[in-house]
Amino acid sequence: MAKAPVLMIQGTASHVGKSVLVAGLCRLLADLGYRVAPFKAQNMALNSYVTPDGAEIGRAQAEQAAAAGVEPRAEMNPILLKPEADDRAQVVVLGRPWRTVRARDYGHFRRYLGSVVRRSLEVLRAEYDLVLIEGAGSPAEVNLRRTDLANMRVARWAEAPVLLVGDIDRGGVFASLYGTLRLLPPAERRLVQGLIINKFRGDPALLRDGIAWLERRTGRRVVGVVPYIPGLRIAEEDSVALENMTPTRGDLKVVVPRFPRISNFDDFDPLRAEPDTALCFVDRPPATDVDLIVLPGSKSTVADLAFLHRSGLADWIRAQAAAGTPVIGICGGFQMLGRAIYDPDGVESDRPETAGLGLLPVVTVFARDKVTRRVRAEVRVDRGLLVGLWGLEVTGYEIHMGRSEGGQPVFRVYRSDGSVVDDGAIDESGLVFGTYLHGLWENPTLRRAVLDRLRERRGLPPVRRPAAWDRHAEYARVAEVLRTCLDLTFLIRLIEAQRGNARQ
């Protein structure tokens, strides 16, 4: 059986737009009749997602699968690195925690991990019409060439034509593209079939001389100049995106502490979409009054709790809660709101006991087994921020390694195996609560009800109607931009030429 064609998108650096371009191409090529699978061999990200069978993969690949109209699966991101500190990361292999590895030791496992990558890619090429491969960082990071499992090693294994992307919004795009090509060995340079300039603002005619120079010097075509797409609502995988994220404007001020190891911050994308919500990520106490504080997920709960204390945010959050400001914790943020966190086996840190913020009567114990599942749940309280929502059904997903007990539950969770458990905790006022459910704000009725409750506290009339929140509209938006600015005939030729070669 012939292998499906592949097309690989690599970048001159991290955050040049590879993930968004692959998502857009997934939708564009799916619209043209291809059954497309995204693939990223190795992904370092704290934004992750749960597949239908409970595997954990990078959020970007889940987004790309959704753009392609297929279910996400572990083979689409066989290796996920979740940093726990500057020098170590949890390694998730085919959706399951494998081990925690220090950066200096990671190369020792490259043979085994490489075999996982190759098998995963072969599975996808056997079951889909086309595999769109995303690289990681830059292929020109010469210090990482020996342990590379995401860029040119994958391109060589798959004999993939590569499109190299540079971000002109950062500046220096011609130097980045030219320099990256020059640093590649000749065998790898030959795989690069075209160049893409991404995030351009202005008249593309201004680039004409630069493009001509680049094409002469590199012998590669610039196959597209992709404009900057403002207000894009596709989940980011890298917290570097928060550095350039401007606060939104609106009547309600929502503050999210920006933990050093913040995870699944895409939880807040639906809140950012609401026109009356001014959402801001902070690393110190804000000087203005706020309407809601939401503690996000964390890959290193104890370390990020220490950050709250160092930054003054811990005392500020306690003071705000005492003054009646609502506080919500999600996953690691929920754990922080409790009385204590116990880690007897050193799962996350070398501290067997850590005091929490004490806003909820909850005790958390870390365990080595990791919970990863999609769930359906019902609201089981009727007060405070959740007044009038008793029995409301919501959906979400869990990714955590701790168990928390104590206090009145917020949700009753129905799992796919038929079991039913309680989740979360809420205080007597109903203004402070926590939950393990990621994706909570993607439930429009709950999201709008909580925001309208905040408006009521400010003496503002309700909005009631949730903002439109449809990621599929964003995929279509990117696909249409790519349809108009990329040389689609050239891309199709790269893809279909592989079918011809396979028949020879």
Residues that are catalytic:
331, 438
Give the H/E segment covering residue 371.
Answer: strand 363-379
Burial of 259 (0-12, 13-18, 19+ CB in 10 A): buried
Residues 36 and 129: beta-carbon distance below 8 Å:
yes
Give me 419's structure tokens.
Answer: 């079991």
In 146-264, alpha helices (H): 152-158, 173-183, 186-189, 208-218
Q: What are the tokens at 270? A: 């639906």
Residue 197 neighbours by CB distance under 10 Å: 26
Neighbours of 208 (CB within 10 A): 10
Q: Token digits for 172? A: 């220096």
- The C-alpha atoms of residue 83 and residue 74 are separated, in whole angstroms, by 19
First to last CA, the chain: 13
b/e map 349-381, b = 16+ CB within 10 Å: beeeebebbebbebbbbbeeebbbbbbebebbb
How long a stretch of residues is the chain? 504
> Which amino acid is residue 281, in one-letter code?
F
3-state helix, strand, coil in the chain (%, to 5): 40, 30, 35
Residue 131, judged by CB atoms within 10 A of its CB (0-12, 13-18, 19+), counts as: buried
**Among 385, 381, 410, which residue's Cα sits nearest to residue 396?**
410
Residue with the two structure tokens 């204590």: 340
| Enclosing H/E stretch for 335 | helix 332-337
How many Å apart are CA 20 and CA 222, to the nearest integer?
A: 18
Phi/psi zone of residue 468: left (φ > 0), alpha (ψ -120 to 50 degrees), beta? beta
B/e letters for 223-243, b = 16+ CB within 10 Å, e = fewer, are bbbbeebeeeebbbbbbeeee
Return left, alpha or beta for 478; rule: phi > 0 is left, psi -120 to 50 is alpha, else beta.
Answer: alpha
* 3 state DSSP class of 454: helix
Calpha distance 366→344 (Å, rounded): 8
